[in-house]
């Protein structure tokens, strides 16, 4: 016999209307009450009628807000394709995706965009957040108000977000350290390049890389890491200046954007091939430079999944009360060279 909303309401000690709001996202409800209702529904094996829910959503559509950072970068172009695929899929059930983009990483702008989306009545938010205490507090405020949050590409600690979708950045950094050490013979001088100070993923990639080098490959010496703001021109300048100051430079580890700038800087000073390079992302210029031996290895982090999955997780949670199985939805650490690209 099918489980009814009335049965769930009696067990939860609430009205049928409250159960309806919790399971079908028809307005504000105390998050703890909603979670209790969803847990009871799951225990009873309640299966919402998707067709019926889609009809109901025509009057009260789910709105999912998305805020991406550094959308000027080629990687984010790939990620946005995943967002668009998810938007098309959830739109079949009447859901709406409200996308907001930003150049670089501006904390104040990101907070403003959140406020705009809340004003437009979003039911959930997917965000690549700045790593800042104000952002941390704002995410927790959203969750407490009944708006679930999924972070993607970059995470943020000490929040009550639903889950994170992206690479295990610290582990990726450690993998890159082992790989780079092997191709330079476990000794030499390495420049680590980060992107934005407030990007948690960049920070963790550098942390994992440097700690692995220091602990496991002590004969590899590390220069202080520098920030390139995901900018090719700045990265080229940093590369050329480092080579002038340290002509014995052995390798460069790029934990962010700006990879083409490194390749141009090395070529301009005649160091292509002699200075080894490991960086991230299967974007067109990186693939070209990999095939032309200007980059030794690329680390793919599955941009499409990072754009697609946060929206689907939020939709399943808002549409059917389905919680993600884990707080972390990690994408693969896929290592590519010119022979397996």
CATH topology identical between 60-165+303-329 and 169-300: yes
Reported pTM: 0.83
Say how far apart CA 166 and CA 67 lie, in whole Å: 15
Which CATH architecture is the domain 60-165+303-329 placed in?
3-Layer(aba) Sandwich (3.40)
Determine the pLDDT at residue 31: 80
Say how far apart CA 287 and CA 280 lie, in whole Å: 10
pLDDT by 10-residue block (mean), the chain, 341 residues = 78 82 71 85 75 54 94 93 95 93 93 98 97 97 97 96 98 98 97 95 98 97 97 97 98 97 98 98 97 98 96 93 93 96 92
Would you say 88 and 80 are in contact if contact means Cβ atoms under 8 Å apart? no
Q: Which residues does residue 278 pair with via DSSP β-bridges, in sequence order? A: 253, 297
- CATH of range 169-300; options 3.40.50.300, 3.40.50.1000, 1.10.10.10, 3.40.50.2300: 3.40.50.2300
Say how far apart CA 275 and CA 281 lie, in whole Å: 20
Angle at 131 between CA 207 and CA 136, to 5 degrees: 130
SS3 at position 277: strand
Say how far apart CA 271 and CA 306 lie, in whole Å: 35
- Closest-CA residue to 1 (of 40, 44, 41): 44
Determine the pLDDT at residue 43: 86
Say how far apart CA 197 and CA 70 lie, in whole Å: 13
What is the Rg, in whole angstroms, of the alpha carbon atoms belonging to the chain?
23
Residue extents of the structural domains in the chain: 5-47, 60-165+303-329, 169-300
Say how far apart CA 287 and CA 123 lie, in whole Å: 39
Query: What is the CB-side half-sphere exposure of residue 165 using CA atoms within 13 A?
Result: 28
How many Cβ atoms from other residues are within 10 Å of residue 88's Cβ? 10
Say how far apart CA 195 and CA 231 lie, in whole Å: 8
- From start to end of the chain, where are the E strands? 63-67, 96-100, 124-127, 149-152, 163-167, 188-194, 220-222, 226-227, 251-254, 276-280, 297-300, 328-331, 334-336
- Closest-CA residue to 97 (of 315, 306, 302): 315
């Amino acid at each position: 016999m099918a489980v009814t909303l009335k049965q769930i309401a009696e067990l939860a000690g609430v009205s049928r209307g409250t159960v309806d709001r919790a399971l079908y996202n028809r307005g504000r409800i105390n998050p703890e009450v909603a979670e209790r209702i969803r847990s009871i529904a799951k225990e009873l094996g309640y299966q919402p009628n998707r067709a019926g829910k889609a009809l109901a959503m025509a009057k009260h559509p789910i709105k999912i807000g998305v805020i991406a950072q550094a959308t000027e970068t080629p990687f984010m172009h790939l990620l946005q394709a995943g967002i668009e695929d998810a938007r098309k899929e959830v739109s079949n059930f009447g859901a709406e995706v409200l996308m907001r983009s930003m150049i670089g990483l501006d904390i104040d702008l990101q907070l403003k965009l959140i406020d705009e989306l809340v004003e437009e009545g979003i039911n959930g938010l997917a965000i690549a957040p700045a790593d800042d205490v104000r952002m941390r507090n704002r995410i927790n405020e959203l969750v407490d108000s009944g708006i679930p949050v999924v972070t993607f590409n970059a995470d943020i600690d000490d929040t009550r977000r639903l889950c994170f979708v992206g690479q295990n950045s610290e582990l990726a950094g450690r993998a890159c350290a082992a790989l780079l050490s092997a191709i330079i013979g476990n000794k030499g001088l390495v420049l680590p390049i980060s992107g934005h100070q407030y990007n948690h993923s960049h920070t963790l990639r550098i942390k994992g890389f440097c700690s692995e080098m220091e602990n496991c490959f002590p004969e590899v010496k590390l220069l202080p890491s520098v920030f390139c703001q995901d900018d090719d021109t700045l990265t080229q300048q940093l590369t050329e200046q480092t080579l002038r100051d340290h002509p014995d430079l052995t390798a460069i580890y790029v934990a962010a954007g700006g990879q083409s700038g490194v390749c141009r800087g090395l070529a301009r000073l005649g160091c292509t091939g002699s200075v080894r390079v490991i960086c991230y992302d299967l974007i067109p210029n990186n693939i070209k430079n990999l095939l032309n031996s200007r980059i030794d290895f690329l680390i793919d982090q599955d941009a499409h999944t990072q754009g697609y999955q946060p929206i689907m997780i939020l939709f399943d949670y808002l549409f059917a009360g389905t919680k993600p199985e884990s707080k972390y939805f990690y994408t693969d650490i896929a290592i590519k060279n010119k022979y397996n690209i």
